[in-house]
Structure 1
Amino acid sequence: MLKSNRDLITELKGVLTSQQYSPVVVGNYCAYARGCLDHLERQNILAADVTEAPVEQYLRDAVGLFQQHRGRRPGPRWHQIPCAGIHALLRLVQGQWPPPPKAICAADALRFAICDEYETWLHEERGFARPSIDAFLWEARHFLGWQLERCGVEGLIDLSIGDIDCYMDLRALVVAVSP
């Protein structure tokens, strides 16, 4: 049986509270999650079936509402608050959010397999926390996409997890040295 929007927000509030989020953050996250659920309901989309496009549209609409109510655009990092609440809700409903990308060719399948292996390695060998793993995977996906464009599938076949980790170390060095 599907849960009502009210039940989903109640469950989200309980999860966030149990994770010791502050009451203000819980309220903000739940407010944006509720707004997104209302937006999805108007489009006859269930939270269990939502994809990234309707969520992105809701966030664009939320920026417009912010500007309409306050007479100015939100700050440059304002989107992090609604995104965090909406993503927490969708992880609760779907188990994972954002949804994993779908392979549309053999090269994509290879890239995704490499990322899966890298994710396991980051968790088991490096002992990284989920947010760090997600950040490393984001960068790895972009690196592998660049490598594919540059060298083709052969360039991916020869890559090891150690190669990806070396690239990440170099990226961290460049960021640390940048002004």
Structure 2
Amino acid sequence: MSDRHFSHEVWLSKLRDHLTEERYAARTSRQCIAVARHFLRCLDKQKVDVSTAQPASVEAYLQQTRRMYRRRHGHPTDYKGWQCLHTNGIHMLLRLVQGLWPPAPKAVTPVEILQSEMRGEYAQWMAGQRGLAPGTVSHRCCEAGRLLDWLGERATREELATLTHLDVDGYLKYRAAAVGRRSLKDVTTKIRSFLRWLYMTERTSRDLSSTVIAPMLYAFESIPSALRSGDVEKILAATRQDCTQKGIRDYAILMLISKYGIRSGEIATLRLDDVDWRQEVIRIRHSKTGAISYLPLLPEVGEAVLKYLQDSRPKTSFREIFIRACAPYRPFRCGSSLYRLVRHRLEAANVITTGKRGPHAFRHARAVSMLRATVSVKDIGDLLGHRAADSTLVYLKLATEDLRAVALEIPTGVKA
């Protein structure tokens, strides 16, 4: 047995152990191992070591396998299903070997190297000098990278020194074509920060941050999307009838969102020790404000969560309450992971909405139900985790029936 063949068998054995540890189904494990074995043989023919394999190596293998499939079956592959079947095992193997997959793109040209260095220095300044949160640093670096990519070959030290407001306007017009007005305002905030930094580090001859024009947004100009109370009950009833592991989990999640109005990110980070079963209290860590709320554990919510923990939650070392329903059994990556879950439950209950179809629609519905129950704005804000009353007042616009009841009569003789 050659050294290369022995090395391949070692990695395949590690992949097999990884699949077993992550509790993949036996059939899925066999498929992943078979595909990984064929991929290693393909690398041998290309004389490429698995530790130095690049995305181009994977694409070459896929093209070769597609040709073989077409010759054997007489028709092209079902791209999406076939692609997943032939890449899952390869990607897991390469993550085991290289530690990171896909590899981060490397700067090659002088312009790319300069841009990479600038993004790195900008990130260090935001984290070190400004003390910004990692998420904020990441988002602002991404926007700075988009601007530099848009400038292309002009993103050099010499060309940046001649940057003008016309260039800034041109980039914002380019971004405005792909985002809404509210998102564009967020873009302008990020661009102002980057332009200030360019001027502070003497990369531009003037401070262009003052030339960034943001779209005008008015307080309370939009109406939040919210589900009707009847729709909420319909969705909960339909989900409760689903007795599968996923259905039990989804019902517990929807109960928490609909009864407490908590954010999807707070659901994703909810941990086992956040529920005090003896005192019947649940602890909520508010993701936006960083505040912590202790709320009474409602009986119907506690029963739904307990049923999930006893009958449906996969056995795992993770302390988060809610875990993915299929291997690898891990917590939700972030709150946005719940969007597809909620949308699927709306469709299953045949609930059609004109606005948002994600977890926030339940949050808004809870706010409206409390308004109609004459709960004070302060108490609603405390439950929802708002710091300022203005954040809660926006929900007053959703109580349209109550607003109609206090509307003034139009004086006689006034024309519309």
The normalised TM-score by structure 1 is 0.63
The equivalent residue for 1:43 is: 46
Q: Distance in 2 between matches of 1:53 and 1:93?
A: 17
Task: Give every structure 1 segment of 4 or more consecutive aligned residues whose post-TM-superposition deviation is greater than 4 Å.
Answer: 139-142
Counterpart among 71, 81, 87 of residue 91 in structure 2 = 87
Does residue 1:102 correspond to 2:106, yes or no? yes
Q: Where do residues 2-151 of structure 1 align in structure 2 (5 Å cutoff)?
A: 4-77=7-80, 78-112=82-116, 114=119, 117=123, 125-126=134-135, 143=146, 146-149=149-152
Q: Distance in 1 between matches of 2:110 and 2:53?
A: 26
- Counterpart amino acid of residue 4 in structure 1: S
The equivalent residue for 1:129 is: none
1:115–1:140 Cα contact (<8 Å) kept:
no
Tell me: CA distance 1:73–1:6, structure 2 relative to 1, closer, same or farther (3 Å): same
Q: Which has the higher helix share?
A: 1
Tell me: CA distance 1:106–1:42, structure 2 relative to 1, closer, same or farther (3 Å): closer
Q: Distance in 1 between matches of 2:60 and 2:134?
A: 38
Tell me: CA distance 1:70–1:144, structure 2 relative to 1, closer, same or farther (3 Å): farther
Give % identity: 25
Tell me: CA distance 1:73–1:102, structure 2 relative to 1, closer, same or farther (3 Å): same
Tell me: CA distance 1:43–1:145, structure 2 relative to 1, closer, same or farther (3 Å): same
The normalised TM-score by structure 2 is 0.30
Higher relative contact order (CA 8 A, sep 6+): 1
Tell me: CA distance 1:53–1:23, structure 2 relative to 1, closer, same or farther (3 Å): same
Q: Distance in 2 between matches of 1:61 and 1:141?
A: 39
Deviation of residue 65 (structure 1)?
A: 1.5
Deviation of residue 21 (structure 1)?
A: 2.1
- Counterpart amino acid of residue 32 in structure 1: V
2:32–2:89 Cα contact (<8 Å) kept:
yes
Once the two structures are superposed, what CA deviation does each residue of 1:95-121 show, in whole Å capped at 9, x if it has no partner?
A: 11222212123442354453895xxx9
- Counterpart amino acid of residue 97 in structure 1: W
- Counterpart amino acid of residue 85 in structure 1: G
Deviation of residue 144 (structure 1)?
A: 5.2
Tell me: CA distance 1:92–1:72, structure 2 relative to 1, closer, same or farther (3 Å): same
Tell me: CA distance 1:19–1:100, structure 2 relative to 1, closer, same or farther (3 Å): same
- Counterpart amino acid of residue 76 in structure 1: Y
SS of corresponding position for 2:79:
coil
Q: Distance in 2 between matches of 1:93 and 1:32?
A: 16
Deviation of residue 52 (structure 1)?
A: 2.7
Structure 2 portions without partners, runs of 5+: 128-132, 164-174, 184-354, 356-416
Structure 1 portions without partners, runs of 5+: 127-132, 158-166
Once the two structures are superposed, what CA deviation does each residue of 1:62-113 show, in whole Å capped at 9, x if it has no partner?
A: 1112222222211121212212211111111111122221212344235445
- Counterpart amino acid of residue 41 in structure 2: D
Tell me: CA distance 1:141–1:36, structure 2 relative to 1, closer, same or farther (3 Å): farther
Q: Distance in 2 between matches of 1:40 and 1:105?
A: 28
Tell me: CA distance 1:102–1:16, structure 2 relative to 1, closer, same or farther (3 Å): same
- Counterpart amino acid of residue 49 in structure 1: T
Tell me: CA distance 1:150–1:43, structure 2 relative to 1, closer, same or farther (3 Å): closer
Tell me: CA distance 1:22–1:148, structure 2 relative to 1, closer, same or farther (3 Å): farther
- Counterpart amino acid of residue 27 in structure 2: V
- Counterpart amino acid of residue 96 in structure 1: L
